[in-house]
Structures are given as structure tokens and as C-alpha cells.
Amino acid sequence: MLGQEEALAAYLENTCDAENDLLKQVNRETHLKETMPHMLSGHFQGRVLAMLSKLVKPKRILEIGTFTGYATLCLAEGLDSEGLIYTIDINEEQQERVQNYFDASPFATKIKYYIGDAADVIAELKEEFDIVFIDADKRNNLFYYETLIPHVPRGGLILIDNVLWKGRVLSDEPDSQTKKVIELNEFLAKDTRVEKLILPIRDGLFVLRKK
């Protein structure tokens, strides 16, 4: 019998749009082949990302932290007809499999996949981004945010994942990693350049809209 949390997660997935066949494949193979499959955005969060993207209709998206490409494919659903999504990851071992997923999607020509250090790749991209999704090494989240906010136009979105950190943000004795997440959240809560809220889905998604 499912616990209340698992039952609620299943209910949410059953009441949103279904995954397409490619997303089901990515989901299944990530859980079979990866040692940390929980890093996948997953069905419900994927639908949230797709919905936000469709509302914005972005011409350019930047994703930091591709993992196995699930969120990339979801964000790509909302792209403008001439839109592109740039996605960056450090892990070369996943590159061939993830590129195959992208090539099998309707967005094959719209996804620009980079392997390398995100800071270096960002410096090379001379673009404005209507949506930025930050889902990489948590220690650098504030650096990514501060680096990219000048490149987000008014009304653009910055999305940051894992900001509840499995509830550890409420800990009385946070470890060093948790302290970084707390510091980021406190900084963003005070940042007057953006409207903001945390969606308490999965591990917490900070949604920030530039004023």
C-alpha cells in the first residue's frame, strides 16, 4: 500500500497530461542505467516545466544541467517556431545516449547540447534567454543566477531546482551544502529585480520572473 506522499504523487501524475513515448523511454532508461535516477525531473515536474514554457513561448531557453535530457525535452515543447534551447552538462559519459534522445524528438534541430563547464559555455553564448533553468551543482547556483539575470529580458523566467533540499532547509543544524541552498533562497527572497515564489513540487522549484 502506498504511503500518503506516494499516493499524492501518483494522483498528481494521473491528473495531468501523460508522458509521450519518448519521455517514458527516457524515464525508464534513466531508472535502469543511472546510479542517481532521482535527479530526473520526472513526469509531474516535467509537465510543470512544459506548461511554463508554453505560457512564455520562448525564443531562447538556457538549461544548466542536462542529466538525461528529460527536462530539456519538456521545456522544448513551448519553444517559439524559431526558438532554440541550449543545454549544458559536464558528464561526457551520457552524451551519446542523451543526444540520441534529442535526435529522436521533434525538437532535434532546436536543441543545442554542450558538454563542458557551464561557466565557460555561458561566456560564449551571446544571447538573451526568455527562460533559464538552473539544475546543476548547487554550490554555483548564485553565480549562475547573477551571471545570467542581465541576459534575461523583462518578463523572462529563471527557474532553479532543488531549493527545498529534501526539507533540509528547515534543519536547525544544516550541513555546508544545505547552508548554500538556504543562503541562495534568502538572497532570492530579498531580490527586488524579480517576482518570486517556490513551488513545493518534488524537491522545490524556485520560479522567478524578471520585472
**CA of 130: how far to CAs of 120, 134, 197, in Å?**
20, 13, 18
CATH node for 4-210 = 3.40.50.150
Q: How many residues does the chain have?
A: 211
What pLDDT does residue 3 have?
Answer: 77
pTM, entire model: 0.95
Helices then strands, each counted (H, E), the chain: 8, 7
* Contact indicator for 170, 156 with CB cutoff of 8 Å: no
pLDDT for 6 equals 86
Alpha-carbon span 115 to 94, nearest angstrom: 10
| Neighbouring-strand partners of residue 62 | 86, 132
DSSP 109: T
And the C-alpha cell for 126?
551571446
Domain ranges in the chain?
4-210
Start-to-end Cα distance in the chain: 46
**Cβ atoms within 10 Å, residue 143:** 14
Q: Note whether 70 and 109 are within 8 A (CB).
A: no
Q: Please, what are the averages of pLDDT over each run of 10 residues along the chain (211 residues)?
A: 81 96 97 92 96 98 98 98 97 96 98 96 94 93 96 98 92 90 96 98 95 98
Query: So what's the pLDDT on residue 5?
Result: 81
Q: What is the pLDDT of residue 100?
A: 98
* C-beta of residue 88 within 8 angstroms of C-beta of residue 112: no
* pLDDT value of residue 2: 63
Residue 158 backbone phi and psi in degrees, to 5: -120, 125
pLDDT at residue 1 in the model: 59
